[in-house]
Amino acid sequence: MATSTEDDNRESKKKKIDGNKDVDPQLWHAVAGITVQIPELNSNIFYFPQGHAEHAYEPVNFPADIKIPSEIPCRVAAIHYRADLDTDEVYAKLRLVPLHISEVSFDDDDVTRIDDMSETKNKYQFYTKTLTQSDINGGGLSCPRYCAETLFPPLDYSGTPPSQKIYPTDFHGETWEFKHVYRGMPKRHLLSTGWRVFVTNKLLVSGDSLVFARAENSDLHIGILRSKRLNDFGFNPSSKSKPGNEIGIRLVPPHGELKSSSGEKDDKPQKNELSISDKVMGIGKVKAEDVIEAVKLGVNMQPFDVVYYPRVGTPEFFVKTSLIRTVLQIRWYSGMRFKMAFESEDSSKINWFMGTIASLHTADPAWPNSLWRLLQVTWDKPDLLKNTKRVNPWQVEIPLNTPSIPFSCFLPPSRKKLRLLEYQAFPTDDQFSMPTFPNYFQTPNIPSLHLPETNPAGMQGARRDPFCLSLSDFHINKSPLGLFKPNLQQPFDHNATTSMTVRSNAVLQKANESENVPCSPSEKQDHANPAQIVLFGQTIRVDAGNENAVNKITNSFSNLLQDPPKQSSGERLECDPENQCIKETLAGET
Amino acid sequence: MATSTEDDNRESKKKKIDGNKDVDPQLWHAVAGITVQIPELNSNIFYFPQGHAEHAYEPVNFPADIKIPSEIPCRVAAIHYRADLDTDEVYAKLRLVPLHISEVSFDDDDVTRIDDMSETKNKYQFYTKTLTQSDINGGGLSCPRYCAETLFPPLDYSGTPPSQKIYPTDFHGETWEFKHVYRGMPKRHLLSTGWRVFVTNKLLVSGDSLVFARAENSDLHIGILRSKRLNDFGFNPSSKSKPGNEIGIRLVPPHGELKSSSGEKDDKPQKNELSISDKVMGIGKVKAEDVIEAVKLGVNMQPFDVVYYPRVGTPEFFVKTSLIRTVLQIRWYSGMRFKMAFESEDSSKINWFMGTIASLHTADPAWPNSLWRLLQVTWDKPDLLKNTKRVNPWQVEIPLNTPSIPFSCFLPPSRKKLRLLEYQAFPTDDQFSMPTFPNYFQTPNIPSLHLPETNPAGMQGARRDPFCLSLSDFHINKSPLGLFKPNLQQPFDHNATTSMTVRSNAVLQKANESENVPCSPSEKQDHANPAQIVLFGQTIRVDAGNENAVNKITNSFSNLLQDPPKQSSGERLECDPENQCIKETLAGET
DNA sequence: GTGTCGGCCCGTAGCCGACAA
DNA sequence: TTGTCGGCTACGGGCCGACAC
């Protein structure tokens, strides 16, 4: 439908008919946002009804007659990566299969991986351009040389001016036609004819980003990454979310089909009119009844589907079990310093914001034991984040060398085991004992955890601690946006913050080792011989690239429960961030 | 919002905020369609769940666990006349209060009328223009001289060319600005600047009608009457309703907000794109759950609200009790000739179609005793009405002198009472004995009816029977569209059809007496002294203008039950159509 | 190398009278 | 009297190089 010339017989049109087809996961992630992570197929997660409810566009009144747990352990049975037919907004549809407590694994490597290697491969070359005012209002798109020369088909420069047609396809398989011309003085690459149609059709505004992706077969794809101006919970200073709503959820009626400005009822163009970004960002996308239906099925141990729109901005409501385990291994206290990642305004990089935990309160009295938005926080720059008052513990990172930590949480390495009693002697009365999750950890196959501590002294002052993997590493390695790398490699000031990660590092398994700089950047690993380990009676195959993850888990447990498992690469031991950073356990030793 | 000049301080904008306010009933009726009638406030009606379900845009699955009657008697406790904020489509919201059988009145005059007189007054002058292709595609609206000179503010003809701005307000209170210019050779009135904006905004197409209304204070109003091209149940030959659906209900998903053509995803204008008329007409507007909710409340004798979009085209699902009584007094049989009113394609007049009752079958086996769409019919011109197979008995009129009536249903006047037994001897095996409604009629205050017959011999061949009021009269008198009168006065060929009305004539109370030609057109009535009558132990005040209705009812019953009530104007007695036309009763005499 | 600006050109929306039914 | 048509015109979309950061 976008290609209007008659001489081409490329397939256009018709694609909209066959409903919503899946988008390539790499393309999907390229526009989902740099902070978005979707659990692996078959991995175990905790599903949070509260978090799901935040994704609804209307208030969710959970039925009072059934007891709804604050979280439901599930297996991820299916993942569909898709794009909204109206807005192009990406979303993921996950099928979750509730698990009995006895079935829950907190180990990332219990996942049966299907085609892990194929996912690892970078099938695309990406370029992301944030649209300027001139791109929108002017006659065409000013296309950076790198994008034109690297991703577009080779241009015959003999023309006057040199020009060609390019035919990228959007996430629905629709093909668009643009005139690509090299002209001006000095010469530059422009997309002229066809660009206006695209802007109008996709309702682009300046600040939105365009993602070009060139597949291996030279096919060109085009995706849209809407501006996060009005993003999650008032990150933006001009946020319109109502004051007084501590969590900052905006409840608005669902927006219907998109209308272009020219289709508005008003005859004057309205400057205050909401753009599509406003409609996409910060607004829940699912129906309250869908949330309730999902919860009901989950409570009854029935499989259920959830739809997750990452650009809505509220956190994921499914969290890997391993990450929850990590969270539970941290002693949280009020006054604790942390940093948290936010997508930058042009969505191209991550901004880190420092804050302090003000208190630990459950967000909703209906779930007195929930981890959801457990942390009530204050920010060092409160004006920028004034509507973000509560965050999830798995969203934050704990910098190690922040001076404001009231007393060291890192105990000497000799003290291998701590009793709960000792924690209760801590002076901080906001100290939080996880109320529900110990139930999971006290099941037979997940014994109470007592993790080892190491001496953090050696880490102090390190410019980049080789023993500690940070969220920034995680994102560098995970992102298929290779072109973002220059930005991502300086996500925060390493002079000031050496980090203890809270987020799951299991994604490291997908990392390209050459980018896995913290340990031994120049050292190539042996991919030939996957090792096996035995953990809790389970045989786990250690794929190349998975060793880190396995090591982390096994190290975490090994000091407590059994002999150190076989190490496929011994030098990796000290690279384990959890071994380094997670020091405590909550349940008493059995 | 429509008024864009700065020099005016009329209120514009802002009106959309305060939700949906009521529209003046006269304005409302002007665009609801010429055949639409809404019962009076406080009148008694029967609510038909089946009919309500036809107004849903999705299949209605009534709960199987509760017994749902085919009709529920109700009092009309509130009426809101409104216009859809998106489409300008008019709709009525009625609050219905279920009645116990003992409370049901079949008498139009049990209604407590509030401000009857104010409603009677014609507060507006109307003009309706059906839009031509030139009006839509050309630069402006060709405005008939009558409309411009009668409804618009007086134009100063000294200009070159003479022109002014006019500021009509639509049904939402939004004001629009049009340049009204008198130019061309020969001179004519045109709306130029501003017209295009209105067409685009309201998504008008040729065939739609524009209703101008000038209020007494000279305020100008503008309403939209969408084309009925795709109207009720395939009246139009090009109807897109699916074959095989006998009733012809189209079940389509709800349409979202309107999109103008320019807002469509496709960059090419699509000729096959549905216009707003297609979206408005022939498509249910209410949710299935709303229907079910209404029915549930009704069954439990709780008040409930219903929303009725007259332009959807399926019949009203609330019918005055008096009309139902009339229906029950007619002996229906297969082979019976009838005529039925349909709105003409340009909505300006009524077309009458002749047909024959094929059989009497309940439309849905779930309601074996329902009157809803009881009549299965064949049409004299079946190609035009091929999807209208079933109609409600109260929708039709029975012409008296049609030769195809197999035998006279009008018995001699001396036979004042008939026994059911006699009917059962009739040869027509499709003869129908009303299965449920006798329950209502056998209640103490509505005794079994035995209505008088009069000799129809005198009526045969009458050019216009003074004793029989037809549907056409009804519409002439009811319609506030005074300008339609020239069309309406010849709704069908009086040489061929003298009619026995089936439709309620209670609306006569609103009639302007000077238009009430059948009886004594030149005679003015005495408005000074409202009379009272006693009927079934109830004192009924006979307002001026209500006498006809009261007379009809009282005459109908008087011969059976008690002494003739006081006649406020004796010469009106023979004017009663029911006295003339309703001949039979179904229940045996008690 | 690329964002922004002003100019120019061309397509078309919109207004017009001519003409005919 | 008013529907339709073709022409004219003014406006703005869209493409251009100049220029500056």
A404-457 pLDDT tens trace: 333 333 333 333 332 222 232 233 334 444 444 544 443 333 332 222 333 333
Helix ranges, A82-181 (H): 116-120, 133-137, 145-150
pLDDT band at A120 (very low <50, low <70, confident <90, very high): low
Q: Is some CB atom of chain B closer than 8 A to the CB atom of A4?
A: yes
List the B206 CA – D5 C1' distance (angstroms).
17
List the A403 CA – D2 C1' distance (angstroms).
87
Instruction: Answer with the residue of higher pLDDT: A384 or A59.
Output: A59
Q: Is the pLDDT of residue A48 over 60?
A: yes
Q: Is some CB atom of chain B closer than 8 A to the CB atom of A266?
A: yes
Q: Is the pLDDT of residue A387 over 80?
A: no
What are the residues facing A141 on neighbouring strands? A191
Q: Which residues contact B297 (CB under 8 A, 6 or more apart)?
A: B98, B303, B304
- Alpha carbons B370 and A32: distance in angstroms, whole number: 56
State the pLDDT at residue A498.
Answer: 32
Tokens (6 digits) for A141: 């798109």
State the pLDDT at residue A468.
Answer: 27
CA distance B177 to chain A (A): 11
Q: Is the pLDDT of residue A310 over 80?
A: yes
Of the candidates A247, A250, A238, A237, which has an alpha carbon nearest to the alpha carbon of residue A389? A247
Test mutation, A198, A262, A265, chain B, max B CBs within 10 A: A265
Q: Which residues contact A159 (CB under 8 A, 6 or more apart)?
A: none
Instruction: Answer with the residue of higher pLDDT: B254 or A342.
Output: A342
Sign of the C-alpha dihedral computed for residues B326, B119, B100 and B391 taken in this order: positive
Instruction: Answer with the residue of higher pLDDT: A181 or A578.
Output: A181
Q: Is some CB atom of chain A closer than 8 A to the CB atom of B259?
A: yes
Nearest Cβ partner of A2 from B1, B200, B267? B267
- Alpha carbons A255 and A204: distance in angstroms, whole number: 17
What are the residues facing A206 on neighbouring strands? A208
Query: Please, is B415 exposed, middle or buried when counting C-beta atoms within 10 Å of its C-beta (0-12, 13-18, 19+)?
Result: exposed
- Alpha carbons B42 and B441: distance in angstroms, whole number: 20
Q: Answer for B172: CB within 7 Å of strand C.
A: no
Q: Which residues contact A52 (CB under 8 A, 6 or more apart)?
A: A60, A286, A291, A294, A295, A306, A317
Q: Answer for B146: CB within 7 Å of strand D.
A: yes
Mapped onto helix, strand or coil, the DSSP state of residue A163 is strand
- Asked if B256 and A256 come within 8 Å (Cβ–Cβ), the reply is yes
State the pLDDT at residue A383.
Answer: 79
> Which H or E run includes A223?
strand A220-225
The CB density around residue A218, as the number of other CB atoms within 10 Å, is: 10
Asked whether the beta carbons of B179 and B193 are under 8 A apart, the reply is: yes
State the pLDDT at residue A344.
Answer: 75
- Alpha carbons B391 and B89: distance in angstroms, whole number: 24
Average pLDDT over residues A217-234: 72
Q: Strand A318-320 relative to strand A44-47: parallel, antiparallel, unpaired?
A: antiparallel
CA distance A557 to chain B (A): 54
- Alpha carbons A310 and B183: distance in angstroms, whole number: 59
- Alpha carbons A552 and A109: distance in angstroms, whole number: 10
Nearest Cβ partner of B259 from A4, A259, A268? A259
What are the residues facing A97 on neighbouring strands? A75
Q: Answer for A138: CB within 7 Å of strand C.
A: yes
State the pLDDT at residue A358.
Answer: 92
Q: Which residues contact B226 (CB under 8 A, 6 or more apart)?
A: B89, B208, B209, B276, B277, B280, B281, B311
CA distance A255 to chain B (A): 9
Q: Is the pLDDT of residue A140 over 80?
A: yes
Q: Is some CB atom of chain A closer than 8 A to the CB atom of B6?
A: no
Average pLDDT over residues A454-471: 29
- In whole numbers, what is the pLDDT of chain A averaged over residues? 63
Q: Answer for A135: CB within 7 Å of strand C.
A: yes
**Nearest chain A residue (CA) to B261:** A263
State the pLDDT at residue A10.
Answer: 29
Q: Is the pLDDT of residue A14 over 80?
A: no
Q: Is the pLDDT of residue A520 over 70?
A: no
Q: What percent of chain A has pLDDT over 90?
A: 25
Average pLDDT over residues A466-482: 27
State the pLDDT at residue B276.
Answer: 54
- Alpha carbons B503 and B474: distance in angstroms, whole number: 9
State the pLDDT at residue B45.
Answer: 93
State the pLDDT at residue B571.
Answer: 31
- Alpha carbons A223 and A215: distance in angstroms, whole number: 13
Query: Please, is A368 exposed, middle or buried when counting C-beta atoms within 10 Å of its C-beta (0-12, 13-18, 19+)?
Result: exposed
Instruction: Answer with the residue of higher pLDDT: A559 or A358.
Output: A358
Average pLDDT over residues A203-224: 90
Identify all chain A residues contacting B1, using CB atoms and an 8 Å cutoff. Answer: 265-268
- Asked if A263 and B268 come within 8 Å (Cβ–Cβ), the reply is no
Instruction: Answer with the residue of higher pLDDT: B50 or A569.
Output: B50
Asked whether the beta carbons of B87 and B279 are under 8 A apart, the reply is: yes
- Alpha carbons B162 and B180: distance in angstroms, whole number: 8
Instruction: Answer with the residue of higher pLDDT: A212 or B557.
Output: A212
CA distance A32 to chain B (A): 22
- DSSP-based helix, strand, coil % in chain B, nearest 5: 25, 20, 55
List the B191 CA – D7 C1' distance (angstroms).
20
Test mutation, B14, B266, B273, chain A, max A CBs within 10 A: B266
Q: Residues in chain B with pLDDT < 70?
A: 1-19, 108-121, 228-283, 345-347, 400-590
Query: How much is the pTM?
Result: 0.53
**Nearest chain A residue (CA) to B266:** A1
Tokens (6 digits) for B522: 């030149």
Average pLDDT over residues A481-492: 26
Q: Tell me, rounded to whole angstroms, the distance of Cα B559 from its chain centroid.
A: 31
Average pLDDT over residues A222-242: 50
First to last CA, chain B: 66
pLDDT band at A219 (very low <50, low <70, confident <90, very high): very high
Tokens (6 digits) for B170: 């639509």
Average pLDDT over residues A569-576: 30
